[in-house]
């Protein structure tokens, strides 16, 4: 189990949204669709320095380009720094 440190948050991405859908329209080969700026993720674990209200199990909106993919052989994890979380979705 990976435990984040230094104000990092371990997240789970919905990779189904990230996969490309086959287009019914023929587009030029060099066409690049606009990347999503924000992404809805699930918080798995937070490092000891992260302040509430961030906690595991919550859904949060983060800046997509600030998500770090860490591949250390046995596993791939996704991390984001605390200050790149824009808000929490749901809850009270």
The predicted pLDDT at position 23 comes to 61
List pLDDT tens digits, range 12-67. 998 765 545 556 778 788 877 777 899 999 999 999 989 888 999 999 999 999 99
- Is it true that domain 1-16+36-92 has CATH number 3.40.980.10? no
Residue 72 reports pLDDT greater than 90: no
Mean pLDDT of 64-87: 94
Distance CA(92)–CA(86), nearest Å, equals: 17
> What gap in Å lies between CA 16 and CA 32, rounded to an integer?
19
Say what the pLDDT of residue 21 is.
53
| Cα 64 → chain centroid | 6
- Rounded Cα distance between 13 and 43, Å, is 9
**pTM summary value:** 0.78
């Amino acid at each position: 189990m990976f435990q984040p440190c230094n104000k990092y948050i371990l997240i789970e991405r919905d990779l189904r949204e990230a996969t490309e859908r086959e287009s019914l329209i023929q587009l030029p080969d060099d066409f690049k669709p606009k990347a999503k700026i924000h992404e809805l993720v699930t918080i798995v674990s937070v490092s000891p320095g992260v302040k509430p209200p961030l906690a595991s199990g919550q859904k949060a909106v983060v800046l997509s380009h600030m998500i770090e993919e860490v591949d250390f052989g046995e596993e791939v994890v996704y991390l984001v720094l605390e200050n790149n979380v824009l808000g929490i979705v749901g809850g009270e």
